[in-house]
Structure 1
Amino acid sequence: MEIGLQREGEEAPPRQNLGTNQSGMRDYNERLVLSLLRRNGSLAKTEIARMTGLSAQTVSVIMRRLEAEELLVRGDPQRGKVGQPSIPMSLNPDGAFFLGLKIGRRSSELALIDFCGTIRRTCRHSYAYPTPAETIRLVTADMDEIAGSLAPRDWERVAGLGIAIPFQLWNWADAAGAPPGAMDGWREVDIRAAVAEKCPFPVYLQNDATSACGAELVFGDPPARGDFVYLYLGAFVGGGVALGGRLFGGRTGNAGALGSMPVPDRNGKTRQLIDVASLSALEKRLLASGRDTTHLWVSPDDWGAQGPEESAWIEEAAHGLAHAILAASAVIDFQTAVIDGWLPLSVRAGIVERTAHRLAGLDSEGIALPAVREGTVGRHARALGGASLPLADRFLVGAQSAF
């Protein structure tokens, strides 16, 4: 997350669109305090004043206001050698709630998260391919179920819903195995507007892989910083880009669409990364060998015993990912390449290890190779990324760019 300070008399950062009056400055500084607490867990007022440069009195006013709004809670007093004990403050998990909707090519997921980013409830559905009408029906039913599980006070504190969805979803009909024309309805529907009609709160929308990258920024452990390229292995692989600890969406919001990047396969034939590093590619291998593929979509925590098909796919995926990371690094000098996905942790670790090994063996003269590491959010990254959209828009300093 990008952290900055607005002092009295200064204009708000241009990317924030908060205005330059006193109200806008107060809103920015409240976001700043909340962002610092999200990153650090808990802080005393004196620590916040030192980190921001705000006066102790200003910080006290901000903290009292946020506590009155039930966004912060007090910790136990910490006694030092001299003076009054300091009281650490932290985010109140029940201070606000957010919904994240992942609409995927093979499954949907609606997640409710609290103010600290903990998933409180999920509703998930698998399907052969998505259609707008069925998706809206499922979302409506899932929201009713979640609303019914919450106290009225908590449902009133839901600050928004973010949708994470592949852009131009209709173009993936063949790859998803849908009948001709079955997904054409996505050309006409405005899914954000359709969902917003069912909601008493704001609705946001962002590319699914970019949303997953945003989840790593906001909820990663530790939160990702600096410049990194992000790859998420789902039914189809996708990516995102973060620059300076901030999502970079590009002109159309689709920056980091690494699934479309041409890469050589292990036979030297040029293919798109989506054809070699997606779970759909593994599914084809398993089906060709007569094996069941249900576990890929319903058991992301444990695939059970792995056979030669999984091992071959991991090698093929790592080969393609390494070439994609190298090509991306020739354009932007990334510090890190982060890999996550709808995968068991052991499989993710294996892919990261093999990708790093492959990358080190490529001709990278003139390029400083990024470190390759695992993501920390895991299989819920896209839904959490969707939920991060309203969270960032209302409560954080410049971590997201939604449209």
Structure 2
Amino acid sequence: MTTAIIRKISAGVNQSGVRDHNERLLLTLLQRNGPTAGSDLARMANLSPQTVSIILREMEAEGLLARGTPIKGKVGKPSVPMALAEGGVLSFGCKVGRRSAVLLLADFRGTVLHQMQLNYTYPLPGPLLDFVTRGVREILGLCSAAERKRICGIGVAMPFELWKWTEMVGAPAEEFVQWKDVDLAAELAAVTDLPVSTVNDATAGCQAEHIFGRGKEFRDYAYFFIGAFIGGGVVLNHSVYPGHQGNAGALGSLRSVGPQGESRQLLDTASIYLLEARLAEFGLDPKQLWVQPQDWSALARFVDPWLGQTAQELAKASLSVCAVIDFEAIVIDGAFPDAIKQALVERTRRYLANQDMRGLISPRIEAGVVGGNARAIGAAASPLFDRYFMNGNLRLQG
């Protein structure tokens, strides 16, 4: 992989009464660029060195920042890089999937401190709420008093209108319809006494890749996450674009074509549930696909044709989204072993090279690096960024 070019952010102000804005800006710069000296931060943020020095000292005293090893220059005193402190701020992230739920506690560097998983045939509100409530209590019991004070909220990533997926999930309609009347955020807030935010699951995965993965490398890109059902997200001008109704980048709903020429959605032609169905046809237990750590090597007979079909569908879908916006890259990740991801990316590149690209600019096809936990980590990032980082489209200088 080539060295990433990270564009600089410049949006600081020096007037009194806006320290919160400047704090967010400096934290965002440190998250984006890694350990950085105060003098460099001042230049990037267009702030005075004195202003930056004061803010850095205050945030260090609060436990948000940590000093790095001094770096000697040719002249003058050694510079001391500052970085986000390990465990400086914490948040719970919960992913509600069609086949499993994940609850984790992560810090604002994307490091997962604790994690637990619940596998099921299909999700129902009662058992899920019990799992999260119990999980939060257990994880809090593993935390020190200082860590508990640093927890700022819970982010929940789940599909929109989950109750509409009854047939494909394989759930009884009379049970699954419970989701229509459930406000999971309100329920969790009531039992945990923590602020709760919700986000679309695929958008959360995109957010995780954008913040903690390869998002620093690209200005505009589309993101595909292949789980039990494929989904996606869109990044425009260095920001994850959720849309006015929170459902932008619903790439799983892109049109595709079935084996008889019938109109289908991409999620019907490029999702792991198709591999599950194939295993079930041969009397094998599909749940083995979700056992952690994942190892699909014994299933090559079934995985290989699934990979071929999924890669073809991703190549066509990539060109479809690039017909709307000239994305420079398509980032692919999923709930599967890393070897499967790399094979899928390589096959998608090969299929893309053979597509009719008249009138289009061919995008780079790249592998995401966050992996199967992307949706839960992205969920955890939601309250963290709401409170500590810059959100929205920032003014960036290349």
**TM-score (normalised: structure 2):** 0.93
Q: Which residue in 2 is equivalent to 1:382? A: 375
Which residue, out of 188, 193, 200, partners 2:186?
A: 193
Of all paired residues, the percent bearing the same amino acid is: 43
Deviates more, 1:291-300 or 1:255-264: 291-300
Which residue, out of 321, 324, 327, partners 1:331?
A: 324
Matched AA of 2:321: A
Gaps of 5+ in 2: 1-6, 394-398
Deviates more, 1:204-213 or 1:357-366: 357-366
Matched AA of 1:316: Q
Structure 2 residue 182 is matched with structure 1 residue 166: no
Structure 2 residue 144 is matched with structure 1 residue 151: yes
Structure 2 residue 279 is matched with structure 1 residue 264: no
Partners of 1:266 and 1:340 lie apart in 2 by 25
1:27, CA displacement in angstroms? 1.1
Note if contact 2:295-2:337 (Cα within 8 Å) is conserved in structure 1: yes
Structure 2 residue 112 is matched with structure 1 residue 106: no
Note if contact 1:217-1:225 (Cα within 8 Å) is conserved in structure 2: no
Note if contact 1:314-1:351 (Cα within 8 Å) is conserved in structure 2: yes
Q: Which residue in 2 is equivalent to 1:397? A: 390
Instruction: Tell me the SS of whatever aligns to 1:198.
Output: helix
Structure 2 residue 41 is matched with structure 1 residue 35: no
Partners of 1:392 and 1:128 lie apart in 2 by 33
1:292, CA displacement in angstroms? 2.5
Structure 2 residue 122 is matched with structure 1 residue 129: yes
1:346, CA displacement in angstroms? 0.8
**TM-score (normalised: structure 1):** 0.92
Q: Which residue in 2 is equivalent to 1:249? A: 242
Note if contact 2:14-2:48 (Cα within 8 Å) is conserved in structure 1: no
Consecutive aligned runs of 4 or more in structure 1 exceeding 6 Å deviation: none
1:291, CA displacement in angstroms? 2.3
Q: Deviations over 1:291-318 (max 9, x none)?
A: 2322212235311323332111111111
Matched AA of 2:108: F
Structure 2 residue 52 is matched with structure 1 residue 46: no
Q: Deviations over 1:330-367 (max 9, x none)?
A: 11111110110001011111111111211221212101
Note if contact 2:35-2:81 (Cα within 8 Å) is conserved in structure 1: yes
Distance 1:174-1:224 versus aligned 2 partners, 3 A rule: farther
Q: Deviations over 1:52-90 (max 9, x none)?
A: 221110111110111111101112222223222211111
Deviates more, 1:221-230 or 1:377-386: 221-230
Instruction: Tell me the SS of whatever aligns to 1:65.
Output: helix
Q: Deviations over 1:117-165 (max 9, x none)?
A: 1111101000011111111111000000000000122111101111000
Note if contact 1:217-1:399 (Cα within 8 Å) is conserved in structure 2: no
Q: Which residue in 2 is equivalent to 1:14? A: none
Deviates more, 1:78-87 or 1:264-273: 264-273
Partners of 1:143 and 1:318 lie apart in 2 by 38
Instruction: Tell me the SS of whatever aligns to 2:103.
Output: strand
Partners of 1:337 and 1:248 lie apart in 2 by 15
Distance 1:352-1:267 versus aligned 2 partners, 3 A rule: farther
Partners of 2:12 and 2:26 lie apart in 1 by 12
Q: Which residue in 2 is equivalent to 1:276? A: 269
Matched AA of 1:206: V
Note if contact 2:14-2:51 (Cα within 8 Å) is conserved in structure 1: no
1:7, CA displacement in angstroms? 2.0
1:44, CA displacement in angstroms? 1.1
Partners of 1:289 and 1:269 lie apart in 2 by 26
Instruction: Tell me the SS of whatever aligns to 2:104.
Output: strand
1:399, CA displacement in angstroms? 5.5
Instruction: Tell me the SS of whatever aligns to 1:76.
Output: coil
Count how many residue pairs are aligned between Structure 1 and Structure 2: 388
Gaps of 5+ in 1: 10-21
Matched AA of 1:343: F
Instruction: Tell me the SS of whatever aligns to 2:66.
Output: strand
Which residue, out of 221, 229, 241, partners 2:222?
A: 229
Matched AA of 2:11: L
Instruction: Tell me the SS of whatever aligns to 1:171.
Output: helix
1:200, CA displacement in angstroms? 3.1
Cα RMSD (Å): 1.8
Distance 1:28-1:233 versus aligned 2 partners, 3 A rule: same
Partners of 1:348 and 1:342 lie apart in 2 by 9
Note if contact 1:3-1:398 (Cα within 8 Å) is conserved in structure 2: no
